[in-house]
Amino acid sequence: MSHVAWGPPRIGDVEWVALALLAAAVVTVTVLVATGRLQPALLSEPTRTVPPLELPDAPTSSDVDRLSLGTTVYGYAADDVDAALDGRRQRLADQEQALADQEQALANRDGHVHPHA
């Protein structure tokens, strides 16, 4: 009867060399990053896929439909999204104020106050 030994597989010479090279590479990269000689670019400035986004002075709903935001390595370009939202928010605020002013002017002209004024 033959006896089969069970247990963890033995690591040969080739595997030890590969592990040693991998460990040396990890240590080398860690030292280079820690000393500032190697700067990983994983979170560098976003690479733009479209030119900066601009809405026209009098945007319409079709302008919003055509709104295209550039992407970066890690998602949308935050500056483009913020600029688009700020521009649209300001335009809507201006329109709301103009509408309120017109309603107030109409109410004053008619001699009575609008219920929402």
With a CB cutoff of 8 Å and minimum separation 6, the contacts of 77 are: 46, 48, 69, 70, 71
The pLDDT of residue 23 is 95
Could you tell me if 107 and 117 are in contact, meaning their C-beta atoms sit under 8 angstroms apart? Answer: yes
Q: What is the pTM (predicted TM-score) of this model?
A: 0.39
Question: Averaged over 56-61, what is the pLDDT?
Answer: 72
CB 88 within 8 A of CB 65: no
Q: Where in the chain are the domains?
A: 11-41, 76-112
Percentage with pLDDT > 70 across the chain: 62
